[in-house]
Structure 1
Amino acid sequence: MVEAAFLEHLRAIAPRLNALMDRFTEARVMVAGDLTLDEFLTGQVERLSREAPVLILRHEETRQIPGGGANAVYNLAKLGAQVKAVGLVGKDEQGAVLRRIFEAAGIDTGGILLDGDRPTVTKTRISGHARQSVTQQIVRVDRKSDAPADPDLQLALADYIRQHLNTVDAVVCSDYGDGVLSAPVIEAALQHSLCVVDTQIDLHRFAGATVFTPNLPEAEKAVGYGITGGDSRSAPSGNRLAQAGADLLRLTRAQHMLITRGEEGMSLFSQDGSQHHVPAFNRTDVFDVTGAGDTVVAALTLGLIVGATPVEAAILGNLAASIVVRQFGTATTSVAEMKAALRSLVEASK
């Protein structure tokens, strides 16, 4: 359950949050990121193979949806924003599928370049079920290259970003470690006055960005010590979470650091020394956290663009994430769903 005091606060600011969400369609966002195609292949288990001790599935369905940095792009579009996608895809069917999905959603794909040397990052999850049983994932197959992108492509991406900085209200960097966020691309993205960074590795590469959104393991890796439990000697104040927030702000020179903490909610730290903790809005109906961080980034960014305070923007991000974790696989939400979730929380405070 969400704390009663916070529910009362949420009830008080609900009209403003609804007004902010109504303005999401005004926002223009560029996302530079590692574009991934998520495939979900499902089937019914028929028998064991005679060739090897493996299951034979009769194929039922294959779903293909944006994943990785492409999920951040898609979340922003589904929330009503005008979005430019910047990244690389291979000269393959998976890249073509991703572009078609984006174009159908009204996303500008002019910044997506073809990489003839590397495949489109594709993650295929194969799941099976027997009769009258739940579907369970059996194996995941990843298609990707660890080789860096061609230097000319890196420069071309950076040039595209610089040419379009004045046409967007914010730049989001969605870094899954697949090579798009190279030094030239990062340098170009950081030139925007509102740069939101979601990176799994090496936060210091984006030093000077406006907001970072690491999850708890990413934050711990960046500061080099555990944030919860155990020995607290690494934080002189005794509050390692607060110490980590301060250390991350120094490391990145960011204005704000939002640490997402799963069922413990979110913690926002700012350069002015302020700290705010937002409790999780949904702790019981959590089925899959895949891509929830991208949803947080999308709603947070749109909130900042349309005039939310950093705390209000974090609440919007938390609200959006509380919806997508109820769904299996990479998912998105909408303003209508966010308003309905907010209404349910407000009613719970009465």
Structure 2
Amino acid sequence: MLTLKRSPLPAFSKVAMPFDFDATRYRKWIELSRLNHPKVSVMSFNLLSQHYVWKQVFGYLDQRYLDWRYRLPLINETIAQFSCDIMCFQELESQLYSCQWQKHFPLKNYALYYIRKPNPAYWGDKPVEHMDGVGIFVNQNRFDVVSHREIIFRDYILQHKLRFDFTQDLSERVVLRNTVGLLLKLRDKLSNKVLYVTNTHLYWLPKYNDVKLLQTKLLLNELKRFIAKDNEDAAHANIVMCGDFNSTPDSLVYNYLKGKPIDVCHSKEFKDYDYGRLFDGEKCSDEIKSSVHVAPAYAALLEENTSETLDFTSFTRSLTAVLDHIWFSTDNLQVCKVLGKVDPDYSGKALGFPDKQFPSDHIPLVAELSYQ
């Protein structure tokens, strides 16, 4: 495992990163299966942009550990210690990507792909460099990047108006969101297999769970088109989907990705809204069901009530919940191990994150997958 030399913080910083920092100190690996096939390590990590550390949300925490001069070295060291083959980041600020990581990412020989979110209407005259986006960083010692695709959901809808019924709810609830997605096609140098990876950060407000489901459907549709471009079938492709889905395990999005039919006519999330009878070129029925067969890498820690059950991926006073997920295609991949929950003895004494040990309000999810 690669560990980089730490760069000291500026002299005027209040607190230095702990010299003995260990990203797994309060978490342990959970082994789920043993396969001797080539394994792929994957991380999904919402970084908490430095420009979203608002006093009204994080003012109750120790402000020393909210300082970007403290948090960024911890983020860099966390990345270096895990050294995953595929790293998916959300809330990756444009300025961090373009001014620092493009030239000085903590790991060597990684291919970096990034898409910045468009500025929302409320952004005003704030610097565009402060807007965040999502990135997929790939270890080039392990993978060749064959192609990539970006999607800005609102732009896709506006550019393909004939594929949608332009109802008022579609215009005001879906099109106004600045959500983006990133898709990569990789070729594994060890196995010569093709792997498709997606990353996204769905809209955050709980009262927009209908929008999150529609955004997820758009992402899956784009993934299927991306795969079909090479005359491949998404039902049999090697797929990894990462992101901050802002969706708990009892949500529409989670159940939809698991393959459960979703009744969009009678579910409480949709009953007050009208999205017409045509969505992305498909005639809408009362139920929608995903045609991509994926499962959550953390299913054993989410769907079974044990001492290892994952109690949160985001930890603040206002919201403590599992919102981040890593999904994988079940036909040809298997999860071998995952990085488990934060030790309750530690989190039980914490007011929330970020803190001295965890540099974001989200914890990184890390999974090791194997081809079957």
Give the TM-score of the pair, scaled to structure 1: 0.38
Of the two structures, which has the highest relative contact order with CA contacts closer than 8 Å and spacing of 6 or more? 2
Q: Which has the higher helix share?
A: 1
